[in-house]
Amino acid sequence: MDALMRIRPGLYRGTVDGEESGHCSCLIEVRRLTDHALSLDYEAVGSEGIQHVEHTIITGSALHVTMGEFPDVVMFREGAPGVFVADPSAPLPMQIHPGVDAGTLTWAWHWAPPGEEPREQSRATAQFEHELAPRAPRRQDLGALIGLLATLEGELTGIGAEMPEWAERLARRLARDGAAAGPGNREVRQGLNDLNHRLRCALGEYDGESS
C-alpha cells in the first residue's frame, strides 16, 4: 500500500489487454485528495466506445471501488503484498493487482466465477503524461465548455459582420484576456475556435500539447 500512496498525481495514458477486455486504450487520472488519500479515475475505450469506467479512492488501508458493474462501493484490502482482495460482499471473487514503476502505472483486474481462483482478465499499462492542475476541472466540465464555445461560435457565424451588444461585450472580454486578436466578428470567432481546440487538447483529444 505504501507504494500506491506514492503514485505521482497526474494523467496517465496507455493500453489495456486481457482475456476479457481484449485490446483497447485507457486514460487514468490520479489526484491527491489528502495526505492520506488519492483518487484514481480509470476509463477504457475500445472500438465500440467506452468499455469500462471506474472511480477508486486509495486510502492507507484499502481501495474503495465503484464502477458500472457494481451496484455499490466494493472495498479491496491488501492480502499478499501488491494484491488487493475484494470483501466477501463482492459479486464475484475479485482482486486488483496495481503496480507503480517510475512513470508507469499498471492496474490489473483478476476475477473468476464463484468457487474458482481469480485469474487476470485485464491489465492496463499507462505512462505518465503530465501533471494535472492543482484543482483540475472535471472532464464533464471541459466537455461542457467545449460545447458552449462551439455554440457561441455558431451564433456569431449566423449574425454577419455587425454584432449585437452581447457579442460586443464578449469581444471586449476576450480581447482583455488576450484570447482574441481584435473586436471584429471574424477575430472573435477565431478566438473562440482557438480556445475550443486548446480545451480539446487538454482533454486529451489531440496528440499535441496545448499552447
- Tell me whether residue 197 is in a domain: yes
- Tell me whether residue 207 is in a domain: no
Do 10 and 112 fall within a single domain? yes
CATH assignment of the domain containing 88: 2.40.128.20
Confidence (pLDDT) at 171: 85
Do 39 and 103 fall within a single domain? yes
As given in the structure block, the three cell numbers for residue 95 are 482482486
C-alpha to C-alpha distances, 36 to 129, 134, 169, 195, 202, nearest whole angstrom: 23, 17, 46, 36, 28
- Tell me whether residue 190 is in a domain: yes
**The one-letter amino acid at 145:** L
- pLDDT, tens digit, for every residue of 44-62? 887 777 888 899 999 988 9
Mean of the pLDDT values across residues 88-112? 92
pLDDT at 178 over 80: no
Do 117 and 151 fall within a single domain? no
Confidence label for 65 from pLDDT (cuts 50, 70 and 90): very high
Rounded Cα distance between 94 and 167, Å, is 55
Round the CA-based radius of gyration of the chain to a whole number and report it. Answer: 22
Mean of the pLDDT values across residues 172-189? 80
Choosing from 86, 112, 130, the residue where a domain stops is: 130
Tally of domains in the chain: 2
Confidence (pLDDT) at 135: 65
* Contact partners, residue 24, CB within 8 Å, separation at least 6: 15, 16, 44, 45, 46, 47, 51
Choosing from 78, 113, 130, the residue where a domain stops is: 130
Contact assessment for residue 63 and residue 50, using Cβ atoms and an 8 Å cutoff = no
Contact assessment for residue 85 and residue 61, using Cβ atoms and an 8 Å cutoff = no
- Tell me whether residue 91 is in a domain: yes
Do 15 and 102 fall within a single domain? yes
Do 42 and 113 fall within a single domain? yes
> What does the mean pLDDT of the chain come to?
85
CA-CA-CA-CA torsion for 185, 186, 187, 188, nearest 10 degrees? 50
Confidence label for 136 from pLDDT (cuts 50, 70 and 90): low
- Tell me whether residue 86 is in a domain: yes
- pLDDT, tens digit, for every residue of 12-23? 999 999 888 788
- Tell me whether residue 208 is in a domain: no
**86-87-93 Cα angle (round to 5):** 50
Do 122 and 151 fall within a single domain? no
Ranking 10-24, 141-155, 176-190 by mean pLDDT, the lowest is 176-190
Confidence (pLDDT) at 209: 41
- Tell me whether residue 210 is in a domain: no
Confidence (pLDDT) at 55: 93
Confidence label for 134 from pLDDT (cuts 50, 70 and 90): low
Confidence (pLDDT) at 159: 81
Instruction: Provide φ and ψ at 116, rounded to 5°.
Output: -110, 160
Domain hosting residue 187, numbered range: 139-202
Do 25 and 84 fall within a single domain? yes
Confidence (pLDDT) at 207: 46
Do 123 and 145 fall within a single domain? no
Do 86 and 22 fall within a single domain? yes
**49-54-57 Cα angle (round to 5):** 160
Contact assessment for residue 4 and residue 98, using Cβ atoms and an 8 Å cutoff = yes
Choosing from 71, 98, 130, the residue where a domain stops is: 130
Contact assessment for residue 8 and residue 30, using Cβ atoms and an 8 Å cutoff = yes
Alpha helices per DSSP H over the chain: 2-5, 139-157, 165-176, 185-202
Do 75 and 125 fall within a single domain? yes
Do 124 and 21 fall within a single domain? yes
pLDDT at 75 over 60: yes
Rounded Cα distance between 47 and 24, Å, is 7
Do 83 and 104 fall within a single domain? yes
pLDDT at 211 over 50: no
- Tell me whether residue 104 is in a domain: yes
